[in-house]
């Protein structure tokens, strides 16, 4: 959000911006001065790209007015809202040297303080819910502290930026995964009970010092929450009274209907549970409320189960659920990183590229042995036999093909956008052979790479159809939606064989095999305009990260919660492959299903 940095010293509406005091995935917060009332305010400013959405300004104004009409001692007051110079802003009460509840929770809290905080935050949420407003992102960092007084902030901000028809599926969850309810994590429409769940997570963290279902990535956290029971609080802190544990279990019930009716009722129950007569609380809550409902084992053909998560295999030792039918949310993150590592190994080991590495003995580790065993044999990267040779000259070498008059100019000048058609021929026994294809454009969009690769695939089998597409960590999408490294798979309905086509640094390599692959995903009617995907990702909150240099790795995979739904995963990472932001997009409609940040 570099465009927001330039606002310091400028005026938006009646507010002169003094300094930046905070930032998040969707907005920046500035200290500003309002001359008319001679007061300082906190000005939350959203980037200009939100205002470009067709209905955003109207929705922003409507939501901000509703929030401005919320009056409660524990809700941060909203003074004003407006748009100026393409920016949308909200003016709020400024608290000098403000801390957040996250800061206070770094140290253990007393029982009295926990009861007090849940009562204050619960009262604020109750007031909002009665006015028909759902917070959607209740978490400690959204609770400001004025001394010992809690002030809940950021009401409705998630809804403001996610309400556009292009940014939502059915209730896009742009909240924070660590505090997100199961239904919000599944992208379902939510009601006030999603805030009750989030407040329950905060209470769990206050009592145990940890957030339940914590995982390595945001999507992994959501998946664990959907598929694993809640770790019992007393197993982490035996000093928690049993009645207090029951309050937590009810607040964190998997089914929203089993939770408290209101956050106020939850606060009252907590106070009673810590009191001298907790028996009523004990009698009213079952420990089975936090166990996800079991689904039937997965059948050979994926089926959609309305309102229920798709059954997944048992968790691995790391506790991360995997969906082997479609490689799943966690699999896609691992897959994209492994692609990058695999390409590095491939570039180092393939013949002709590194003779020293080829001919120098080395110590074979289990990992390299497995890679070597799994790597198909490849032919030397030489010109096809159909192309006549020419003596070396300073002029470009024109390599005609026996099957087409398409040519490729193989010089050190900028590559052309046309390719020599080279048919990959499997050897006996169906062992795939990597057949080289001459250089083409150095970077391509998804549509461009599919168009070119499909020509090659259909020379292998005329009925070949696209089955998989992904970028690698070495070639994330640029601002134009182009990548230098693509991996595609094409499937033949007739032979059931697969042809893997890799595009790296301007050259194709094909690896066909006719070994039967009876079941695969066919990518029909999917979005291949990857520039559009990058724009959707930016609008969903990724612009902050792309401005900082993070780029998205991309892949199409079935959605883990519905294997019939194809999705693009955009995983924003830097050079170390550490994912900082993930956007899940419906591959056919372009609707954002999930946008989650590690920050």
Residues acting as catalytic residues? 137
- Torsion from C-alpha of 456, 458, 464, 466, nearest 10 degrees: 40
Exposure on the CB side of residue 368, measured as CA atoms within 13 A: 8
Rounded-to-integer distance, Cα 378 and Cα 380, Å: 7
Q: Scanning the structure block, which residue is given the tokens 């129950």?
A: 269
CA distances from 514 to 177, 368, 431, 433, 511 (A): 43, 26, 8, 11, 10
Rounded-to-integer distance, Cα 133 and Cα 122, Å: 14
Rounded-to-integer distance, Cα 193 and Cα 204, Å: 16
Q: Which two tokens stand for residue 390?
A: 């020419």
- Give yes or no for a contact between 464 and 499, defined as CB atoms under 8 angstroms apart: yes
- Give yes or no for a contact between 432 and 376, defined as CB atoms under 8 angstroms apart: yes
Q: Scanning the structure block, which residue is given the tokens 């028909």?
A: 132
- Give yes or no for a contact between 297 and 161, defined as CB atoms under 8 angstroms apart: no
Provide the 8-state DSSP code for 109. Answer: P
Burial class (CB in 10 A: 0-12, 13-18, 19+), 394: exposed
- For 311-370, the DSSP string reads P-PPP-TTS----TTT-HHHHHHHHHHHHHHHHHHHHHHSTTT-HHHHHS--PPPHHHHH
The closest of 179, 135, 138 to 157, measured between CA atoms, is 135
User: What is the chain's alpha carbon radius of gyration, rounded to the nearest angstrom?
Assistant: 28
Rounded-to-integer distance, Cα 243 and Cα 269, Å: 9
- For 51-85, the DSSP string reads HTSTTHHHHHHHHHHHHHT---TTBPPEEEEEEET
Q: Which two tokens stand for residue 524?
A: 């029909």
> Which helix (DSSP H) or strand (DSSP E) does residue 133 occupy?
none
Who's near 53: CB < 8 A, 6+ residues apart?
164, 166, 167, 539
Rounded-to-integer distance, Cα 50 and Cα 216, Å: 30
Rounded-to-integer distance, Cα 459 and Cα 171, Å: 44
Q: Backbone dihedral region of 306: left (phi > 0), alpha (psi from -120 to 50 degrees) or beta?
A: beta
CB burial of 146-155 (b: ≥16 within 10 Å; e: otherwise) equals eeeebbbbbb
Rounded-to-integer distance, Cα 175 and Cα 442, Å: 38
Rounded-to-integer distance, Cα 398 and Cα 536, Å: 41
- Give yes or no for a contact between 529 and 447, defined as CB atoms under 8 angstroms apart: yes
């Amino acid at each position: 959000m570099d465009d927001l940095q330039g606002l310091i010293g400028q005026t938006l509406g009646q507010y002169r911006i003094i300094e930046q005091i905070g930032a998040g995935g969707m907005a920046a917060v500035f200290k500003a001065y309002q001359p008319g009332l001679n007061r300082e305010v906190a000005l939350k400013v959203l980037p200009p790209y939100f205002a470009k959405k067709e209905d955003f300004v109207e929705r922003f104004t409507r939501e901000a007015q509703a929030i401005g009409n919320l009056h409660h001692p524990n809700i941060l007051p909203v003074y004003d809202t407006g748009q100026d110079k393409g920016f949308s802003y909200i003016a709020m009460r400024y608290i000098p040297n403000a801390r957040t509840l996250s800061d206070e929770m770094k140290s253990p809290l007393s029982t009295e303080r926990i009861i007090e905080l849940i009562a204050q935050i619960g009262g604020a949420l109750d007031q909002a819910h009665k006015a028909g407003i759902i917070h959607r992102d209740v978490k400690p960092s959204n609770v400001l502290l004025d001394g010992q007084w809690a002030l809940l902030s950021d009401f409705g901000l998630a809804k403001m930026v996610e309400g556009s028809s292009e940014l939502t599926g059915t209730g896009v969850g742009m909240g924070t995964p660590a505090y997100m309810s199961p239904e919000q994590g599944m992208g379902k429409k939510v009601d006030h009970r999603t805030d009750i769940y989030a407040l329950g997570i905060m209470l769990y963290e206050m009592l145990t010092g940890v957030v339940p279902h914590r995982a390595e990535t945001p999507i992994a956290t959501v998946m664990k929450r959907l598929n694993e029971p809640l770790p019992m609080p007393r197993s982490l802190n035996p000093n928690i009274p049993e009645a207090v544990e029951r309050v937590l279990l009810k607040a964190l019930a998997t089914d929203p209907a089993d939770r408290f009716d209101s956050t106020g009722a939850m606060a009252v129950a907590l106070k009673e549970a810590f009191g001298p007569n907790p028996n009523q609380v004990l009698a009213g809550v079952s420990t089975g409320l936090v166990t996800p409902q079991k689904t039937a084992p997965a059948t050979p053909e994926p089926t959609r189960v309305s309102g229920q998560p798709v059954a997944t295999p048992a968790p691995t030792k790391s506790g991360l659920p995997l969906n082997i039918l479609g490689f799943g949310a966690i699999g896609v993150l691992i897959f994209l990183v492994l692609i990058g590592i695999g390409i590095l190994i491939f570039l180092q080991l393939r013949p002709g590229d590194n003779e020293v590495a080829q001919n120098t003995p080395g110590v074979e580790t289990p990992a390299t042995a497995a890679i070597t065993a799994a790597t198909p044999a490849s032919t030397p990267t030489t010109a096809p036999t159909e192309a006549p040779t020419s003596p070396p000259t300073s002029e470009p070498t024109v390599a005609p093909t026996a099957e087409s008059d398409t040519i490729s100019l193989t010089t050190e000048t900028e590559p052309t956008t046309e390719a020599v058609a080279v048919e990959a021929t499997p050897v006996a026994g169906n062992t795939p052979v990597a057949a080289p294809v001459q250089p083409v454009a150095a970077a391509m969009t998804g549509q461009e790479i599919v168009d070119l690769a499909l020509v090659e695939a259909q020379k292998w089998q005329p009925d070949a159809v696209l089955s998989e597409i992904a970028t690698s960590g070495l070639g994330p999408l640029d601002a134009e939606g182009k990548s230098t490294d693509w991996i595609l798979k094409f499937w033949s309905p007739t032979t059931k064989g697969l042809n893997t086509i890799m595009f790296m640094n301007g050259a194709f390599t094909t690896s066909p095999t006719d070994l039967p692959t009876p079941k695969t995903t066919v990518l029909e009617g999917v979005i291949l305009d990857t520039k559009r995907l990058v724009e959707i990702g930016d609008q969903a909150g990724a612009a902050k990260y792309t401005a900082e240099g993070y780029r998205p790795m991309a892949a199409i995979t079935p959605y883990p919660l519905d294997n019939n739904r194809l999705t693009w995963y955009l995983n924003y990472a830097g050079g170390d492959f550490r994912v900082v932001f993930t956007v899940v997009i419906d591959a056919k409609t372009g609707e954002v299903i999930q946008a989650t940040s590690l920050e």
